[in-house]
Amino acid sequence: MNRIRVLIVDDSVTIRKVLRTTLSQHDDIEVVGEAADPYEAREAIKALNPDVLTLDVEMPKMNGIEFLEKIMRLRPMPVIMVSTLTQAGAATSLEALELGAFDCVGKPDFDGVVEKVRIAVHAKVRPLRDRAHDSAPVSSYQCGDSVLAIGSSTGGVEALVSIIQRFPANCPPTLITQHMPPTFTTSFAARLDRLCAAHVAEATDSAPVKPGHVYVAPGGDRHLEIQGSGAHLRCKLVEGPTVSGHRPSVDVLFNSMARIVGARGVGVILTGMGRDGADGLLQMRKAGARTLGQDQASCVVYGMPKVAFERGAVERQVSLSRMPSSILDLCAHQVRGAV
């Protein structure tokens, strides 16, 4: 068995020790080295050729974001960021995810780091220069009564930014469930709002669902659903157990879309590990909604879209670069079809 070779980069001796102990308990993972700053890390990468890097956000000499950008331009590899789960840490981690970091883990418990290392080694990592995309919003779109729901997980931050940036100010009402901790979704919604022509906000209970608005499910202990009827739709935050291993769950959002919106809906499932969203997207398609899945070539992790496609939930697979126009075309088609 080939063991996953991990390099730990952190200026804290304590954090390095905890990470080494956590990862080394597993026979399929080998910690091949440690580095206290990016300059040591650069030499260690050359000498040790690790499969996966864990990278602290705050370090002396050069911070983790600056180093990550250099890695993604010169020697792309799966990088798991290590950060505090504070608001400031969340904002910095989101920047890292946009630059191509595989995922983030929080200090001091490093929840899920072992599983993320195991998945990261198989992730598709592209050079930063190859991920450039046209961010200008689509200039014309016929706004009607279609409603859009998007589900994503690992790799979803970069994917969602590239999609929502292309949406016009009068985009279809859009609900998003992206697997994230609570502080991350607050920062992510604010960042999307700054980058996009549409208004983006974290979803609140009973918020009216309107064209030109994008609603991001808050991380934490509630699921995002859509409720209401006709033109009187609203967000609903629902307490409950995890569904498909997650809360908020993409399945919960998509199932509510199938029940409430039916054939007016458009459902999209993006990059992510696991199966969350596949069953709900299938229910949307059975209810007459149009559905898209991100294709394997453009996914960081072809997990959620793969399961959805194999279950017949995905009408068509689309590359990330074509996803914004494909979504808007389907939303406009739903409007024409309803007339």
Where residue 243 sits, what CATH number does that domain have?
3.40.50.180
Based on C-alpha coordinates, what's the Rg of the chain?
20
The enclosing domain of 28 has a CATH number of: 3.40.50.2300
Residue 93 and residue 162 share a domain: no
Q: Are residues 119 and 42 both part of a single domain?
A: yes
112 & 168 share domain: no
Give the tens place of pLDDT for each residue, 100-114.
Answer: 999 998 887 788 899
Say whether both 314 and 175 belong to one domain: yes
User: Is residue 229 among the annotated active site residues?
Assistant: no
Same domain? For 218 and 125 the reply is: no
What pLDDT is attached to residue 146? 95
Q: Are residues 114 and 227 in the same domain?
A: no
> Is residue 186, in this structure, part of any structural domain at all?
yes
pTM (two decimals): 0.91
Instruction: Show which of 102, 130, 158 is a domain's final residue.
Output: 130
Sheet of strand 103-106: strand arrangement:
29-35, 4-9, 52-56, 79-83, 103-106
Last residue of a domain, one of 130, 155, 187: 130
Tens digits of residue pLDDT in 261-276: 999 999 999 999 999 9
119 and 172 belong to one structural domain = no
End-to-end CA distance of the chain, in Å? Answer: 59
The pLDDT value given to residue 21: 96
- What does the block give as tokens for 86? 């504070």
Residue 277 predicted with pLDDT over 70:
yes
- Domain boundary residue, one of 78, 99, 130: 130
Is-contact 325 332, C-beta < 8 A?
Answer: no
Does residue 21 lie in a domain region?
yes
The model's pLDDT over 170-195, given as tens digits with 9 standing for 90+, comes to 999 999 999 988 888 999 999 999 99
Tell me, yes or no, whether 94 and 212 share the same domain: no
Out of 17-21, 80-84, 150-154, least confident range: 80-84
Active-site residue (options: 276, 279, 295, 326): 276
> Phi/psi class of residue 174: alpha, beta or left (left: φ > 0; alpha: ψ in -120 to 50)?
beta
Q: Is 276 a catalytic residue?
A: yes
Q: How many domains in the chain?
A: 2
Is 299 contained in some domain? yes
In this predicted structure, what is the pLDDT of residue 257? 98
Catalytic residue among 51, 179, 187, 256: 179
pLDDT-derived band of residue 339, with 50, 70 and 90 as boundaries? very low
CB contact at 8 A, 83 and 57: yes
Q: In the β-sheet with 199-202, what is the strand arrangement from edge to edge? A: 199-202, 213-216, 174-178, 147-152, 265-269, 290-294, 316-318
* Residue reference for tokens 């294709």: 295
Q: Which domain holds residue 246?
A: 147-338
Instruction: Please report the pLDDT score of residue 335 as a whole number.
Output: 53
For residues 239 and 96, state if they share a domain: no
Is the CB of residue 245 less than 8 Å from the CB of residue 135?
no
337 band by pLDDT with thresholds 50, 70 and 90: very low
Q: Are residues 205 and 261 in the same domain?
A: yes
For residue 142, being part of any structural domain is answered with no
Cα dihedral 323/324/325/331 (nearest 10): 100
| Long-range contacts, stretch 1-5, CB < 8 angstroms, 24+ apart | 1/27, 1/28, 3/27, 3/28, 3/29, 3/30, 4/28, 4/29, 4/30, 4/51, 4/52, 4/117, 4/118, 4/121, 5/30, 5/32, 5/48, 5/49, 5/50, 5/51, 5/52
Locate 148 and state its tokens.
């859009």
Alpha helices in the chain (DSSP H): 13-24, 38-48, 64-74, 87-99, 113-120, 156-164, 182-195, 250-260, 278-286, 304-310, 323-338
In contact, 158 and 97? CB cutoff 8 Å = yes
- What amino acid occupies position 195? L
> Is the model's pLDDT at 225 over the cut of 60?
yes
Judged by DSSP in three states, 81 sits in strand
Residue 106: inside a domain: yes
Is residue 287 a contact partner of residue 263, using CB atoms and an 8 Å limit? yes
pLDDT of residue 33: 98
Catalytic residue among 93, 146, 153, 244: 153
Are residues 17 and 163 located together in one domain of the fold?
Answer: no
Contact 276, 151 (CB under 8 A): yes
Residue 137 in any domain: the answer is: no
Question: Does the structure show a pLDDT above 70 at 209?
Answer: yes
Token pair recorded at residue 325: 């126009």
Residue 67 counted as domain residue: yes
When pLDDT is cut at 50, 70 and 90, the band that residue 129 belongs to is: low
153 lies in the same domain as 286 = yes
In a domain, 203, yes or no: yes
